Amino acid sequence: MKTYEIVIGLETHIQLNTTSKIFCSCKADSWGAEPNTNICPVCSGLPGVLPVLNVETVRKGALLAAAMHAEINPVSYFDRKNYFYPDLPKGYQITQFDEPIGKGGYMDLQMPDGTSRRVRIHKLHLEEDAGKTKIEDGERLVDFNRCGVPLVEMVTEPDLRSAEEAAQYLTQLRQLLRWIGVSEADMERGHLRCDANVSIREAGSTVLNTKTEIKNVNSIDAVRLAIIEESKRQIEAVEAGQRIQSYTLDWDADTGTLRKMRSKETEADYRYFREPDLLPVVLSAEEIAEVIASLPELPIERRARFIQDYQLSAYDADILTSERSLSDYYEESVRLFGGAAKVVSNWMMNDLSRLMNDTGKSAAELRLRPIDLAEIIRMVEGGKINPATGKSLLGKVEAGGGKPAEIVEREGLGLIADEDALSGQIAAIIAESPAEVESFRAGKESLLGWFVGQVMRRTGGKADPKRTRELLLEQLKR
Ligand SMILES: [Zn+2]
């Protein structure tokens, strides 16, 4: 049997998180609203109305272009894409055709196995969404709520080579969209929608064979599964001597199968022409420079810096840069703690992430701020409290108990700071345990643990374990 390579391109529609729609003042997000309650004469396409461009969509589209390393077009245009469909009340969609907001661009994938791949961007433009139709009791119903919702359509070149890479692209894209704050990127709510173009070829070949298009995949897992299914089907067909036909396939998440929707016709003639009701979108050199300057450090760059500067493992760096608020929280805590960055990452990966899970809050929403975490870590590292007390303080601060040091003071959680007092307790225990002292001095050094336990019991766990061992050794060896 020959070996095959899978060739994948992804087409994504990204809903920008602006307040209002792209050409009218209706709310952009009407998730959960009753059908046709978030519409106006503009977005429902009544005659005689004029679109007014929401400049926020231009700024967010340009910011996304910059984050994708694309060139921001100084003069872009809106065009009419003419086609007839019941969910498109105007009979055309306002989109961008030959002069879009962004040109070129790429994303570097960082695969979990350490390999990387550059995925080039073929197309990045602004457009309005269409409505939705559905069939209920034999009737076709239409909901215009989504008409005019601002989208960026972004299409990759066929640069992806496996279902895993396609899933990674979507994972990184979703992270990036949230990171730069242009979209909520919630796939279940349709903020990030994806179609996948899939073809196969013999390994080593450079031809692009006939592809099929998979539509309606609304989770990253579904994209992965659908691509695996479809590439298997194509390989079996080719092995059986059949030709691949250009289908559009519909992914059925319930059964995990692909259904043929229709044979793909040749590209429709959309008779694009410039939208006469809108001016060209002109961005001055200063405005473009401003957009680029407002771009935060990107997740992939921050991840590399965390590995380099803080000596984090790739795994820790992945988790700590999975969300911008979490990575900001980490850096702020490291700065305020002032000690080893690795100590802070251990606390974040274990105890803080447990607190976030338990409370269902993001790092930004926690009441426990980096200054509190840094203080707790400093107290533990400085031997003022024991690690278990430190861990319990996270929850107490989060529950509104006050500042960590106040809680320690109020609840008497501090370790015994008076060395003479601790020394006295140890001397008393030694005096009461002549048999154990004798065994220890005869070489049974494992008894040290037993002595530490006695000290802890007598002090209610408030002895510094490290100092206790030192003092015990001193007194036992006398
Ligand atoms: Zn409207």
Q: Which two tokens stand for residue 396?
A: 């107490």
Both tokens of residue 198? 């899939």
Q: Tell me, in angstroms, the distance from the centre of ligand 1 to residue 257's CA.
A: 37
Average pLDDT on 437-459 reads 89
Residue 308 has pLDDT above 80, yes or no: yes
Which pLDDT belongs to residue 317?
94
DSSP 189: G
Whole-number Å distance, alpha carbon 20 to ligand 1 midpoint, is 8
Q: Note the pLDDT of residue 371.
A: 96
| Alpha carbon of 26 to ligand 1 centroid (Å) | 4
Q: What is the pLDDT of residues 236-259, one digit of tens each?
A: 999 999 999 888 898 888 888 888
> Could you tell me which residue, 343 or 114, shows the higher pLDDT?
343
Q: Please tell me the total number of residues recorded for the chain in this structure.
A: 478
- In angstroms, the CA 475 to CA 423 distance is 9
Average pLDDT over residues 422-450: 89
In this predicted structure, the answer to whether residue 328 has a pLDDT above a threshold of 90 is yes
Task: Give the mean pLDDT of 345-351.
Answer: 95
Mean pLDDT, residues 404-430 taken together? 86
How confident is residue 1, by pLDDT bands cut at 50, 70 and 90?
Answer: low
Residue 265 has pLDDT above 70, yes or no: no
Q: In percent, how much of the chain has pLDDT > 70? A: 98
Q: Six-digit token pair at 255?
A: 């059964």
At residue 8, does pLDDT exceed 80?
yes
Question: Which position has the higher pLDDT, 146 or 209?
Answer: 146
pLDDT tier for residue 266 given thresholds of 50, 70 and 90 = low
If we measure between CA atoms, which residue out of 60, 152, 57, 72 comes closest to residue 104?
72
Q: What is the pLDDT of residue 445?
A: 86
Distance from C-alpha of 120 to C-alpha of 275, rounded to nearest angstrom: 28
- Cα 219 to averaged position of ligand 1 atoms, centre (Å): 28
Mean pLDDT of 64-79: 98
| pLDDT of res. 318 | 92
389 Cβ partners below 8 Å, 6+ apart? 380, 408, 413
pTM of the prediction? 0.86
Q: Which residues are close to ligand 1, an ion, with C-beta < 5 A? A: 24, 26, 40, 42-43
Q: Does 216 have pLDDT greater than 80?
A: no
Give the per-residue pLDDT at 345: 96
Whether 311 has a pLDDT exceeding 60, the answer reads: yes
The gap from C-alpha 40 to its chain's centroid, in whole angstroms, comes to: 34
Domain boundary assignment for the chain: 4-290, 297-411, 419-476
Q: Are strands 4-15 and 192-202 parallel, antiparallel or unpaired?
A: antiparallel
- 147 falls in which pLDDT band (50, 70, 90)? very high
**Residues forming a β-bridge with 141:** 134
Residue 53's closest CA among 70, 77, 84? 77
How much distance in Å is there from the Cα of 269 to the middle of ligand 1?
28
CATH 3.40.30 fits 419-476, yes or no: no
Query: What mean pLDDT is predicted for residues 210-232?
Result: 93
Helix or strand holding residue 122 (H, E): strand 116-128
Average pLDDT, the chain: 93
Instruction: Render 222-243 in DSSP notation, one character per residue.
Output: HHHHHHHHHHHHHHHHHHTTPP
Contact 70, 121 (CB under 8 A): yes
When pLDDT is cut at 50, 70 and 90, the band that residue 414 belongs to is confident
Instruction: Report how far residue 192's alpha carbon sits from residue 194's, in angstroms, rounded to the nearest whole number.
Output: 7
Contact 180, 296 (CB under 8 A): yes
pLDDT, mean of residues 290-297: 96
Q: Is the pLDDT of residue 297 over 90?
A: yes
What are the distances in angstroms from CA 425 to CA 4, 122, 430, 468?
74, 74, 9, 10
For residue 387, the surrounding DSSP H or E stretch is helix 387-398
In the chain, the percentage of residues whose pLDDT exceeds 90 is 73
What are 80-111's pLDDT values in tens digits? 999 999 999 999 999 999 999 999 999 999 89
Q: How far is the CA of 14 from the centre of ligand 1 (A)?
A: 19
CB 1 within 8 A of CB 239: yes
In angstroms, how far is CA 447 from the centroid of its own chain? 50
Distance 84 CA to ligand 1 centre (A): 20
Q: How far is the CA of 135 from the centre of ligand 1 (A)?
A: 24
pLDDT in tens, 157-181: 999 999 999 999 999 999 999 999 9
